[in-house]
Structure 1
Amino acid sequence: MAIGAWVPVMGGPVVGILLGLGLGRLLGARVDTLRPGLAFTSKKVLQAAVVLLGLGLSLGQVLTVGAHSLPVMVGTIAVALGGTALLGRRLGVDQETRTLIGVGTAICGASAIATTSAVIGASGTAISLAVTTIFVFNVLAAILFPALGHLMGMSQDAFGLWAGTAINDTSSVVAAATVFGAAATSYAVVVKLSRTLMLIPISVWLSVRTHRTQERARQQAAADAAATSTAEAPAAGRRGLPWRKLIPGFLVLFLLAAAANSVGLVPEAAHAPVKWLTVLLTTMAMTAIGMLTPVASVREAGWRPLALGGALWVAVALTSLALQALTGTL
C-alpha cells in the first residue's frame, strides 16, 4: 500500500501481486503451510473488496457525463470485448486470461479484473497475467497520452474523454490527465467512474455464462458416464439452470451496495475511507494470489497475453478518437 501510494501509476494491487510472485518463489515449498490463509484471502477477502467497490458506484454519474460522451464510452467497450473474443482465440490465449484482459481493458483495469476473477473463479495464473499485462499498458498510457494529446491539439474536455475511455486504471487516468490540465482531470475522472458502472451488467452476464458452461459440462459428463456404463441406467435428463445460484451472493451484495449509493444512502464522508479499505482488501487478495501462482506458468504463457493486451489498448485508443471525431466531441 505504501509503495502504491508513492507510485500511484502502479497502485497497491499491482505492487501486491508482483511482490507476492517474488515472495512465493522465495518461500518455495514452505508456501504450502500458508495455503489455507492465502486461499481464504484470495477468495473471501477479494469478494469483500468487490462488495465495497459497489459503494463507490453511482448511476447518477452517467447523467453527469452527458449523453454526448456515451457513444464513445459504449463503442470503446464493445471494441475491447469484441476484440478479446476474436484476437484472443487467434493468439491461443486461454479463455480465463483473455476474459480478464478484455474486461480489464474495457472497464477499469485491476478493479475489473478483481471483480471478474471472483465471478468466474479464475486461476491465480490467469489473474497474475492479466494484472501484469494491464499494468504495462497503464504505465505506457500515463507517459504517452499527454504528449500525444498536445501533439493533436486536443481540448481539455476532449483529452479528458480520451483518457477516461482509453486508459485502464483510475490511477493512470488521473496521472495522465493531471499532466494535461485541471479541466481534463475533472472530466476524465467522471468519464472513468461512469465507465466503471459497466462492471454491473458485465459481471451479471459473466456469472450467467459461467453457470451455463458448468451446467453443460455436468450434463456432458453425466451423458458420457451413462454411455460407458455396463449397467442399465436411466438416461440423464436435462436439468434446469439453478437460477437462484446464477448470481453469487457477493455479487448480489455488490449490486445492492451500488444501488444504495445511487439513492444517497452512503454518506459523502464515508466514500474516502471505503475507497481506502477497498484498495487494502484488493491488495491483500492480489498478494495472496501472487504467492499462490506458479511462476513457471506465467513464464510459459510467453508473449501472447502482452500481445493481446497491447492490440486491445491500441484499438480502444484509436476507436475513442474516431468516435469523438464522428460525434463532434474531438
Structure 2
Amino acid sequence: MSEDLDCPVPARPQAEPARGSSRPAVASLVPGLALVLALAAAGTAVGKAFPLVGGPVTGIVLGVLLAVLKRPGARLRPGIGFASKRILQASVVLLGSQLSLTQIVHVGAGSLPVMIGSLVVCLAAAYGIGRWFGIVGDLRTLIGVGTGICGASAIAATAPVIGAAGVEVAYAVSTIFLFNVAAVLTFPLLGHLLGMSQHSFGLFAGTAVNDTSSVVAAATSYGRTAADYAVVVKLTRSLMIIPICLGLAWLVRRRNRDAAETTARPRLQVLKLVPGFLIGFLLMTTANSLEFIPAAAHHGLSELSVFLITVALTATGLSTDLAALRRTGPRPLILGACLWVVVSVTSLVLQFLTGSL
C-alpha cells in the first residue's frame, strides 16, 4: 500500500515534487476511508444496541459481507489499506489511556498468579496444539493472544508486530467472538453451580473471558460486585499486551535476522525492535498511571479507541480473501475451542490452589 502511495505522480518539469506528489496521495485515501468510516459507524450503532456483539465484531462482519458481494476496486484500496494499518496502530496507542500500572496493586497479589498463570498456559497451549493441528504460526499466535489477553484489542496490537495477513486477523477475531458468546451464556451458570462468591466469579470472568464487553456482560449477570472486580482484573490483564508484543517483536526480528543481516550498530537494532505505535502505547499508559490524563477524559478516549478499532477491523473485513479463509478450514476454530477450555479450567484450578475460588 505504501509503495502505491509513494509513487511520484507525473508532472511538468517546473512542478514542485513535494506538493504535486502529496495531494494525489491524500486524495487517493478519501474514497476508501469514507466507505470504511460509514461501515464502522453502522457497526458501532449495532454494537451499542447489542453490547454482547460489540462494534469491532460487527464492523468486521459488515466488511466481510460487503467483500463477498463486491470486492473493493483499485480506487478504494489505498484508503482501506490505510485504515487497516495506520488507524489500527492509532487505536492501540489510545488503548493505553484506559490502563494504569497501578491497577496491578489494586487487584491484589492474590489475583496475579491466576492472571499470569492462565496467560502462560494459554500461550503454551496455543503453540503446542496449534503446531499439532498444523496451523500457521501467525494465526495460532493471534488466537492465542486473543484468548489469553484481551480479545480483539490484543489481536489488533499483535497483528502489525508479527505482520499477520488480513485473513488471519479476520479469522482470529471471529473465533474469539464465538467463544466470548459461549462464555457469557455459560459462565454465570457455572459460577452458580460451583457456588462461587461475587469476588471469585469476578476474578474468573476477568481472567477467562476475552473482550471487555463480554467480561462486563458475563459478570453483570452474576452481580454488581462481580462486575466491578472483573473489569479491574480485565484491565490489568490487558497490560500483558506490553511484554507479549515486545517478546513477539524480538522473535520476529530474530526469525528474519538472516535475511536482514547487517553490520548496523546495536543501538539501532534495539530501536528497530520496538514498533513506534507500541512506544506510543507505553507512553499513554505511563501518562495515565501518573494521572496526566483527566478522569473526565477517560470515557471519551475509551469510546474513540473502540471506534478506531472498529474502523481498522472493518477495513480488515473489506480486505478479506474469502478463498483463503475457506482454505484455512475448521482447524483454527477447533484451536480456539481448545484454548477457551484450557484457559477456563486453568483459571478455576489456580483460583482453587490460591484459595480464591
Instruction: Give the TM-score of the pair, scaled to structure 2.
Output: 0.85
- After TM superposition, give the deviation of residue 301 of structure 1 in Å: 1.1
Are 1:4 and 2:31 an aligned pair? no
CA shift for structure 1 position 287: 0.5
1:264 is matched with which residue? 291
**Cα distance in 1 for residues equivalent to 2:265 and 2:115:** 36
Report 1:174-185 matches (<5 A): 174-185=216-227
2:327 paired residue number: 300
Q: What is aligned with 1:86?
A: 128
- Paired with 2:241 and 2:258, the residues of 1 have a C-alpha distance of 25
1:273 aligned residue: 300
CA-to-aligned-CA distance 1:18-42 (integer Å, 9 cap, x gap): 11011112123x4332110001000
**Could you tell me how far apart the structure 2 residues matched to 1:325 and 1:247 are?**
38
Name whichever of 156-165 and 239-248 sits farther off.
239-248
2:67 is aligned with what amino acid?
A: G
2:313 aligns with 286
Corresponding letter in the other structure for 1:273: G
Indicate whether 1:250 and 2:277 are aligned: yes
Identify unmatched segments of 5+ residues in structure 1: 220-236
The corresponding residue for 1:33 is: 75
The alignment status of 1:60 with 2:102, answered yes or no, reads yes
SS in structure 1 at match of 2:110: helix
- 1:103 has 2:145 as partner: yes
- In structure 1, the residue matched to 2:344 is 317
1:13 and 2:40 matched:
no
Q: Distance in 1 between matches of 2:144 and 2:111?
A: 21
SS in 2 for 1:215: coil
C-alpha deviation, 1:239, in angstroms: 5.9
CA contact (8 A) 1:31 1:291 kept: no
Tell me: higher relative CO, structure 1 or 2? Use CA pairs within 8 A at least 6 residues apart.
1
What SS does the corresponding residue of 1:31 show, helix, strand or coil? coil
Note the C-alpha offset of 1:297.
Answer: 1.1
Is 1:328 aligned to residue 352 of structure 2? Answer: no
Q: Cα distance, 1:149 vs. partner?
A: 0.6
Structure 2: 5+ residue stretches without partners: 1-43
**In 2, Cα distance between equivalents of 1:160 and 1:144:** 14
Aligned to 2:27: none
Task: Return the offset for 1:240.
Answer: 6.3
How many Å separate the matches in 2 of 1:65 and 1:89?
35
Aligned counterparts of 2:73 and 2:216: Cα–Cα separation in 1 = 37
Amino acid paired to 1:217: A
- 1:114 paired with 2:141, answer no
Corresponding residue to 2:211 among 149, 169, 174: 169
Partner amino acid for 1:269?
A
1:215 is matched with which residue? 257
Q: Give, in angstroms, the shift of residue 217 of structure 1.
A: 3.2
SS of the equivalent of 2:259 reads helix
**Alignment of structure 1 residues 145-164 onto 2, 5 Å:** 145-164=187-206
- Count of residue pairs the alignment pairs up: 312
In structure 2, what residue type is equivalent to 1:23?
Answer: L
What's the CA shift string for 1:216-269, capped at 9, x where partnerless? 3334xxxxxxxxxxxxxxxxx766662221111111111111111011111000
User: What residue number does 1:71 align with?
Assistant: 113
Normalised to the residue count of structure 1, the TM-score between the two structures is 0.92
| Corresponding residue to 2:86 among 44, 47, 51 | 44
Partner letter of residue 291 of structure 1?
L
What's the RMSD between the two structures over aligned residues? 1.2
- Correspondence for 1:199: 241
Provide Cα deviations, 1:64-106, integer angstroms capped at 9, x if missing partner.
Answer: 0000111111110011111011111111111111010000011
Conserved? CA contact 1:149–1:159, under 8 Å: yes
Q: CA deviation at 1:208?
A: 1.6
Correspondent of 1:23 among 55, 58, 66: 66
Deviation at 1:295, TM superposition (A): 0.9
For 1:97 and 1:5, locate their aligned partners in 2 and report how far apart those are by CA, in whole Å.
29
**Counterparts of 1:31 and 1:147, CA distance in 2:** 48
- How many angstroms apart in 1 are the aligned matches of 2:336 and 2:263? 39
Aligned 8 A contact 1:164 1:173 in 2: yes
